[in-house]
Amino acid sequence: MKYGCIAKRLGHSFSREIHARLGNPEYQLLELEESDLPAFFRKREFLGINVTIPYKQTVLPYLDRVSETAERIGAVNTIVNRNGILTGYNTDFGGMAAALKKLGVPVEGKKALVLGSGGTGRTADAVLRSLGASEVITVSRGGGSPAVSYREALERHSDASVLINATPCGMYPDLDAVPIEPERFPGLEGLFDAIFNPLSTELVLRARQRGVPALGGLYMLVAQAALASELFTGLPASRDDVERIFREVRAEKENLVLIGMPGCGKTTVGEEAAKRLGRPFLDLDRRIEQDVGMPVPNYIREKGEEAFRKVESDAVREVSRKTGLVIATGGGTVLRPDSVNRLRRNGCLFWLDRSVEAIRPTEDRPLSDSAEKLAALYRERLPVYRATADRRIPGDGTPEETAVRVAEEFTERKNK
């Protein structure tokens, strides 16, 4: 391996795609147990590597030199081999500083909490202090000076203005977890989560629901990768390159999620849009039918709508872990806030707004099998679709016309 990333687990990593876009197709991922590290560093058969959880501090004894920034922080995430001399750097510092700048929340003079005391937490502490934070409090499970426990953070530091999550809590595959409740900080002005998979953690989503600016870790990942790539190759990447790659990777990983009334054409439009975008298509109702062993209408008639919503929620939990899909949901999927949040973690929600006059009631939809039921359902759900959608797509045209518009608007997100 000439270039790559080492960690204990890398199934969640986007680093290979990012470095390929930075002009390094030789970049690889290598999972190592801690017991493998001595032999790996003794051989020194690499030119440049990144290091991530949980080895950012573990690798320090294997290095010949450490940059001033990395030494001050006490954590390394980039190692360069120059003629057999291993030098450690911390490009996370620059990556996180760039991410906080993109978030747009001033840190100077503000009280900040950092969740996690590991390598990323140390980096966050250093970045916040460099930006002029008036007070930086580290929060860890064990507490103990200089860190505080999570209970102490809530009791004594609920006045914090900035919150950074530097723990793996909420990272793939445990997507429902949150390290702390952002609602407990009434003066919160900005939140950054270093986790990049999912694209938006539950912590980020809950902050945004309160109107708090919040950003996931993908921008930091790209920015630090650009700095690491420069150390590897000597070729600098501009801020424009970072922005472009961030948008491209986000668009590649983000799911296109179709919501809307039963019979509005989500499956037909979704299949066509998926073809145009070159993406896999997943129909949530079909997935549920595989799980329960019967058609959805039969299940609703036999078990009731509430039982179906529970099964549907479980299916959403699994489907929402995936990336790069076009997903057609059921008409009532968005009725459960937990399902909406799960779909949003890796997805953008497109509402196919087809007028009720253009939707035909059918016997295979027990909740809308008559014109009266359909009209009542439309009135009930219209506010939910409006509140939930990230994009509204008029749906009264042909499925092909609607699919073209969906694909075009989704593609345009690369440039925003």
- The domains of the chain are located at 3-89+225-237, 94-220, 254-415
Shared fold status for 94-220 and 254-415: yes
Let me know if 372 is exposed, middle or buried by CB neighbors in 10 A (0-12, 13-18, 19+). Answer: exposed
Range 254-415 classified under CATH 3.40.50.300: yes
Catalytic site residue 2?
no
Which is it for the CA torsion 385, 386, 388, 392, positive or negative?
positive
User: Measured on CA atoms in the order 301, 305, 310, 313, is the torsion positive or negative?
Assistant: positive
Cis peptide before 61 (omega within 30 of 0): no
For residue 380, which of 332, 308, 337, 338 has the smallest C-alpha distance?
Answer: 332
Query: Phi then psi for 290, rounded to 5 degrees?
Result: -65, -40
Contacts (Cβ under 8 Å, ≥6 apart) of 310: none
Rounded to the nearest 5 degrees, what angle is found at the Cα of 13, between the Cα atoms of 87 and 413?
Answer: 115
The C-alpha angle 346, 125, 93, rounded to 5 degrees, equals: 65
pTM (predicted TM-score): 0.93
Catalytic residue among 2, 8, 43, 56: 56
Classified as helix, coil or strand, 139 is: strand
Q: Is CATH 3.40.50.970 correct for 94-220?
A: no
**pLDDT tens-digit profile, the chain (416 residues):** 999 999 999 988 999 999 999 999 999 999 999 999 999 999 999 999 999 989 999 999 999 999 999 999 999 999 999 999 999 999 999 999 999 999 999 999 999 999 999 999 999 999 999 999 999 999 999 877 789 999 999 999 999 999 999 999 999 999 999 999 999 999 999 999 999 999 999 999 999 999 999 999 999 999 999 999 999 999 999 999 999 999 999 999 999 999 999 999 999 999 999 999 999 999 999 999 999 999 998 999 899 989 999 999 999 999 999 999 999 999 999 999 999 999 999 999 999 999 988 988 777 777 777 888 888 889 999 999 999 999 999 999 999 999 999 999 999 876 76
* CATH class (in words) of the domain with range 3-89+225-237: alpha beta
